[in-house]
Structure 1
Amino acid sequence: MSYVDIPVKVLKENIINSRKPKEVTELLKSIAESMKAGEFDFVDNALEKLIGRKLTDLNEFLKNIYSK
C-alpha cells in the first residue's frame, strides 16, 4: 500500500459533490491543509505515561488479534 497525495482542490470538490454542508467542507479542507503542512507530525508519549506501558504497534496488534 502506498500513500497517494490528493490535491486539496480535488478533495474539496469531492466533499462538495457529496453534499456536505459548507462548514464541514471547510473543516475537512483545513484539516487536509494542516496535515500537508506537517502540523500533526509529532510524537506525544502522554498515553504511555497515562497507561504506564509502551504502546502496541498497530501492525503487531492486528497480527495478535487475527492470528487467534
Structure 2
Amino acid sequence: MSTVTFRVSDEEKSFIQSMADLNGLSLSELARTKLLEGLEDQIDMDLYNKTIKAHELNDESISHQDMLLELGL
C-alpha cells in the first residue's frame, strides 16, 4: 500500500480530525473516502454534462400529447 502526504494548517487538521471522530473513522480513512468520493462525483458530473450536450445536439424528445397520438391512445 502506498502513502500520500499533504500539508494542512493546524486548524485544518483539527477540523479534519474532529470530522473523522464524528464519523467513527480514522483520519486516514476519512481523507481517503472523501477524496475518492469527490473524484468519483467529478467523473459522474463530467459524464452527465457530456450526455446532456449530446442530447441537446440531437434532441428527439416529443410532447406527452404527441406520444399519446403516436401510440394511438
**Structure 2 length normalisation: TM-score?**
0.30
**Structure 1 length normalisation: TM-score?**
0.32
Greater relative contact order, per chain length (Cα 8 Å cut-off, separation 6+): 1
Q: Which has the higher helix share?
A: 2
